[in-house]
Amino acid sequence: MVQTLKEVLKAAQLTFDLQVRDMVVARPDLPYRDIGRVFGVSYDVVQRVVNEFGLRGKRKTGPKATKTQQEAV
């Protein structure tokens, strides 16, 4: 069966999105920015995948910055 370029690109993007999704689920300790660096994509791409698969709110958030930590930055 002959596939169009659009179908090939859609399949490739789905495969990539599934890999990103698996990393987000498997590594809740990594921030989205670091996951994006692993795949060579931006934070926004990771967010798009998270929203696409309904993963928002499934991960624990990190510790909140205290006032002394914020002043040090």
Q: Which residues contact 32 (CB under 8 A, 6 or more apart)?
A: 24, 43, 46, 47, 50
CA 55 to chain centre: 10
| pLDDT computed for residue 8 by the predictor | 96
Rounded to two decimals, what is the model's pTM?
A: 0.75
| pLDDT computed for residue 31 by the predictor | 93
Taking only the tens place, the pLDDT of each residue in 2-19 is: 889 999 999 999 999 999
In degrees, rounded to 5, the angle at the alpha carbon of residue 22 between the alpha carbons of residues 44 and 52 is 45
Taking only the tens place, the pLDDT of each residue in 28-68 is: 899 999 999 999 999 999 999 999 999 887 766 666 656 66
The domain locations on the chain are 5-56
Q: Radius of gyration of the chain from Cα atoms?
A: 16
